[in-house]
Amino acid sequence: MATVLYPGSFDPIHLGHLDVIEQASALFGPVIVATMYNPDKPGGMFTIGERKAMIAESVGHLPDVRVEAFTGLVIDAAAAVGADFIVKGLRTSGDFEFELQMAHTNESVTGIRTVFLPTSARWSFVSSRFVREIAQYGGDVRHLVPAPVARRLAELPGHTSRTTEQP
């Protein structure tokens, strides 16, 4: 058994993320999901606190999973929780190059290694970015996100104002 850290922006968590969390929990045991601020993605739809709350509701069926919010470096978050490994999900080969570079960089600094888990093919096309984009225009994303996220997205201003009218 190993303790693993699964870091990400999770803005918001979607079913591909949940699949990786479920896989990691079954393989390793304790999983700490770390909601992180990504310096490459300023702004965002939800606050870190909102993201953390939605993740916590979405993983309620997994007793070995807990959710934390961190700022700063993933390696520092991993050290803070005593993680043995960082876990990252890979949807397609498109994710691989950048994730491998981050994994090697992180390992070079503190020695912590990253384990890649392929996201189930069923969710390999899902991204938080497109979930946000569709939801902002009032589209239906209930098949892509856990129910607590779908409920929260449905409360967004403008959710019911989707229109096909041209400007």
Q: Is-catalytic flag, 17?
A: yes
Q: Is-catalytic flag, 91?
A: yes
The one-letter amino acid at 120: S
Q: Is-catalytic flag, 120?
A: no
Q: Is-catalytic flag, 52?
A: no
Element (DSSP H or E) covering residue 68: strand 65-70
Q: For the beta carbon of residue 83, count every other beta carbon within 10 angstroms.
A: 24
Q: Give the residue among 141, 124, 103 at the shortest CA–CA distance from 16.
A: 124
Q: CB-wise, 8 or 30, nearer to ligand PNS?
A: 8
Residues in the chain: 167
* Smallest separation (angstroms) from ligand PNS to the CB of 165: 34
Q: CB-wise, 77 or 135, nearer to ligand PNS?
A: 77
Q: List interacting residues with ligand PNS (CB under 6 A).
A: 7-9, 36, 38, 41, 73-74, 102, 105-106
Residue 159 tokens read as 């959710």
Q: Hey, which residues are catalytic here?
A: 17, 41, 91, 128
